């Protein structure tokens, strides 16, 4: 009998260890497919509906294979679940002993070098930063992992954490005086010795990007990789195979340069003066991009002579600083690292400042964040890169998610990721949506483009929450809608409202589970990777069909390419992408066979537009209604 069967069958090992073990045929089918892909070094696409038990279905064959396997997740939440729950359990249960570890991106770890430098320089005098730094100091004295997830009470955008976390360019690597004590060094050593290494997609593609550029690697050599939440791969790969520039990046560089010049070095006033000029020239350059919408595309005509001049002055300022660094009599390891960073920044700056016609395979765009202005040069299509770097090797590559198919096949994701040949498998749901859920599709609400949309959906949300007694996720397609609805409902419902951004994601989820009647309002990151079972979550409300905005720079550029290819971008790109997103959002609700809940989509296009049928056909087979009376009856039937 196959080893997976010995474990997962009704009379298998797991059934004897777990009192309430539930045999799932789809789980065994998936485990066997994963086992086969690993042994034959194949690419496998496997859509496993919620309830399949897919984490065990890929972890067990990965462990039993005896190979070194990287498991990459789309969210830190799933990463934590694998390492704090699933793998510890399996290590005590499986007949084969194995080791495992978790690696997160550098920015999740405390940088001891930057931390000690900040203490020496006492730079934390801003409002709120001092108190945050005190929390970090207290925690730093006891932490063994240096992992930010241990810290509570810091906002997601904590400036204090930005100052003391490990950053890619500023990391000194083996030249750092704290290298032997570095948390990242320890994690890398642990990963090299582990059989299963759990990472997230951002770290995986950061590693792949470094290898692509010839700058070394982050992950140890591995035999196979399993991507959970694989529907996110294109988005993450696009980020890491592109280039980003910001005033923040220059500020980081200057701060680190001044620190390197100040310690272990004879003070050189010319270098410090040039640091001031770098900040000045960067400010002049980035101010040209500080106006406009939150995200907008840059075309050749947008790089005016004035902007080009400011960019050229910034380049010359960096070059001059590099020459000053070269003239220093003493060159510490930190100074050498600064010199290397100058070369990297100059290479990236040249992409934006060079007057040549914009490269046809890149999209140049601007993004406004709370922390400043970011310039991006993103690849228009990552399929060729991924085909060469990821899917053409001699190792197994397994992609799984509850949402990999659109229109009942895998062609969309295969085309986006450059997958030519793969085994494919779709596993049906183990849940009975006909009895466990109700899909409410109100048709009386105004269109999303209407000025009355926010006001009217807010009224509808208040009514729904009163029936569900809170216990709801309200998922939004934009921050703007989230804030607007929050303002409309906050004084009209007796339930605690938890709003994304007020606290880190994991802290909000913990509060939501703890406070039974609370309501969580979230945007993109809450549409996926969030697992709340039981009564705490009894309703998922979605404001709009999650179409990527045609005004978004990347979306607009990809639409243009499809139009040039004589393809309809709405049906070939925008609809499949939106279907995958909608399925993810709805998937938050029913997480086990006992869950009951209401799914609400407040966008009447799903029933009134011809393309709405494509969305409806992709949804779970729950009963559908436009009658609010049935919502009332549903919650009377399943009271809290």
How far apart are the C-alpha atoms of 321 and 368, rounded to whole Å? Answer: 28
Between residues 118 and 146, the one the model is more confident about: 146
pLDDT of amino acid 429: 78
Evaluate if residue 295 carries a pLDDT over 50. yes
Evaluate if residue 30 carries a pLDDT over 90. yes
pLDDT of amino acid 127: 43
Q: Which helix (H) or strand (E) holds 556?
A: helix 553-564
How many CA atoms lie less than 13 Å away from 45 in the CB half-sphere? 22
Between residues 552 and 214, the one the model is more confident about: 552
- Specify the range with the lowest mean pLDDT, choosing from 38-42, 352-356, 378-382, 460-464: 352-356
Q: Which residue has the tokens 């009379």?
A: 11
Evaluate if residue 366 carries a pLDDT over 80. yes
- Per-residue pLDDT band for 128 (boundaries 50, 70, 90) equals very low
Evaluate if residue 359 carries a pLDDT over 70. no
- Specify the range with the lowest mean pLDDT, choosing from 71-80, 209-218, 290-299, 310-319: 209-218
pLDDT of amino acid 529: 67
- Per-residue pLDDT band for 213 (boundaries 50, 70, 90) equals low
Evaluate if residue 556 carries a pLDDT over 70. yes
pLDDT of amino acid 311: 94
Evaluate if residue 131 carries a pLDDT over 80. no
How far apart are the C-alpha atoms of 249 and 267, rounded to whole Å? Answer: 24
- Per-residue pLDDT band for 9 (boundaries 50, 70, 90) equals confident
Query: What value does the mean pLDDT of the chain take?
Result: 87
Q: What is the pTM of this model?
A: 0.84
pLDDT of amino acid 639: 65
pLDDT of amino acid 447: 94
Question: 3-state class of 569 per DSSP?
Answer: helix
- The set of residues, in sequence order, having a beta carbon less than 8 Å from that of 63 and lying 6+ positions away, is 90, 94, 96, 98, 195, 196
pLDDT of amino acid 217: 73
Give residue-wise pLDDT tens across range 388-437: 999 987 899 999 998 898 877 899 999 999 999 999 999 987 778 888 89
Give the residue among 249, 192, 248, 201 at the shortest CA–CA distance from 221. Answer: 192
Q: Which residue has the tokens 């990789």?
A: 225
Give the residue among 272, 260, 106 at the shortest CA–CA distance from 188. Answer: 106
Q: Counting every residue, how long is the chain?
A: 640
DSSP state of 75: S
* CB neighbours of residue 630 within 10 Å: 14
How far apart are the C-alpha atoms of 411 and 503, rounded to whole Å? Answer: 38
Evaluate if residue 1 carries a pLDDT over 50. no
- Specify the range with the lowest mean pLDDT, choosing from 102-116, 212-226, 237-251: 212-226
**What whole-number percentage of the chain has pLDDT above 70?**
94
> What is the b/e burial string over 279-310, where b = at least 16 CB atoms within 10 angstroms of the residue's CB?
bebbebbbebbeeeeebbbbeeeebeeebeeb
DSSP state of 570: I
Task: Tell me the β-bridge partners of 424.
Answer: 45
- Per-residue pLDDT band for 288 (boundaries 50, 70, 90) equals very high
Task: Tell me the β-bridge partners of 45.
Answer: 399, 424
Domains and CATH numbers, the chain: 3-99+194-240+382-427 (3.40.50.300), 106-184 (no CATH), 243-379 (1.20.140), 433-549+582-637 (3.40.50.300)
8 Å CB contact between 29 and 61: no
pLDDT of amino acid 549: 84
User: Which range, 329-338, 450-459, 590-599, has the best average confidence (pLDDT)?
Assistant: 450-459
Evaluate if residue 479 carries a pLDDT over 80. yes
**Angle at CA of residue 419, ends 36 and 426, nearest 5°:** 55
Between residues 370 and 31, the one the model is more confident about: 31
Give the residue among 237, 240, 232, 205 at the shortest CA–CA distance from 219. Answer: 205
Between residues 292 and 145, the one the model is more confident about: 145
Mean pLDDT of 153-165: 77
Evaluate if residue 618 carries a pLDDT over 50. yes
């Amino acid at each position: 009998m196959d080893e997976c069967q010995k474990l997962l069958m009704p009379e298998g090992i797991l059934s004897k260890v777990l009192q309430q073990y539930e045999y799932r045929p789809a789980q065994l089918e998936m485990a066997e497919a994963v086992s086969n892909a690993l042994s034959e070094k194949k690419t496998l696409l496997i859509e496993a509906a919620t309830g399949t038990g897919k984490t065990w279905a890929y972890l067990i064959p990965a462990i039993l294979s005896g190979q070194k396997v990287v498991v990459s997740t789309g969210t830190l939440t799933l990463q934590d679940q694998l390492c704090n729950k699933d793998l510890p359990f399996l290590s005590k249960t499986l007949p084969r002993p194995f080791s495992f570890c978790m690696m997160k991106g550098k920015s999740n770890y405390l940088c001891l070098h930057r931390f000690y430098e900040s203490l020496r320089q006492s730079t934390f005098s801003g409002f709120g930063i001092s108190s945050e730094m005190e929390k970090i100091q207290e925690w730093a004295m006891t932490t063994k992992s240096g992992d930010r997830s241990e810290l509570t009470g810091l906002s997601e955008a904590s400036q204090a954490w930005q100052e003391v976390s490990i950053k890619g360019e500023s990391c000194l690597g083996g030249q750092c005086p704290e290298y032997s004590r570095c948390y990242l060094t320890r994690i890398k050593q642990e990963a090299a010795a582990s059989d299963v290494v759990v990472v997230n997609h951002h770290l995986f593609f950061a590693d792949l990007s470094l290898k692509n550029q010839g700058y070394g690697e982050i992950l140890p050599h591995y035999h196979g990789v399993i991507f959970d939440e694989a529907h996110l791969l294109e988005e993450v790969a696009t980020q890491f195979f592109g280039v980003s520039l910001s005033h923040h990046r220059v500020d980081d560089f200057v701060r680190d340069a001044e620190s390197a010049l100040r310690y272990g070095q004879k003070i050189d006033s010319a270098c410090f003066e040039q640091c001031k000029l770098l900040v000045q020239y960067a400010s002049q350059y980035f101010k040209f991009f500080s106006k406009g919408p939150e995200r907008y595309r840059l075309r050749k005509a947008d790089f005016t002579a004035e902007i080009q001049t400011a960019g050229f002055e910034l380049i010359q300022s960096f070059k001059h600083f590099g020459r000053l660094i070269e003239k220093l009599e003493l060159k510490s390891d930190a100074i050498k690292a600064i010199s290397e960073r100058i070369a990297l920044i100059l290479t990236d700056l040249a992409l934006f400042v060079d007057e040549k016609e914009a490269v046809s395979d890149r999209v140049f765009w601007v993004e406004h964040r709370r922390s400043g202005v970011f310039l991006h040069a993103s690849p228009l299509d990552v399929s060729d890169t991924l085909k060469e770097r990821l899917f053409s090797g001699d190792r197994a590559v397994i992609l799984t998610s509850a949402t990999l198919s659109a229109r009942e096949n895998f062609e969309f994701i295969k085309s986006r990721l450059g997958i030519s040949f793969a085994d494919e498998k779709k596993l049906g749901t183990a849940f009975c949506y006909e009895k466990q859920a109700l899909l409410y599709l109100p048709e009386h609400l105004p269109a999303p483009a209407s000025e009355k949309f926010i006001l009217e959906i807010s009224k509808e949300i208040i009514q729904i929450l009163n029936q569900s007694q809170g216990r709801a996720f309200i998922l939004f397609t934009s921050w703007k809608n989230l804030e607007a609805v929050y303002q409309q409902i906050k004084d009209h419902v007796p339930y605690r409202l938890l709003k994304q951004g007020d606290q880190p994601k994991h802290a909000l989820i913990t509060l939501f589970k703890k406070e039974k009647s609370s309501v969580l309002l979230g945007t993109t990151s809450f549409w996926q990777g969030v697992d709340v079972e039981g009564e705490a979550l009894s309703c998922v409300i979605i404001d709009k069909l999650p179409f990527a905005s045609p005004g978004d720079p990347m979306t607009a550029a990809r639409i243009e390419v499809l139009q040039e290819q004589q393809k309809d971008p709405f049906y070939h790109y925008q609809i499949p992408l939106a279907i995958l997103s909608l399925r993810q959002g709805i998937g938050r609700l029913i997480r086990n066979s006992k869950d009951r809940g209401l799914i609400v989509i407040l966008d009447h296009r799903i029933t009134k537009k011809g393309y709405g049928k494509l969305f409806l056909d992709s949804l779970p087979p729950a009963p559908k209604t436009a009658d609010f009376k049935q919502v009332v009856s549903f919650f009377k039937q399943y009271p809290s």
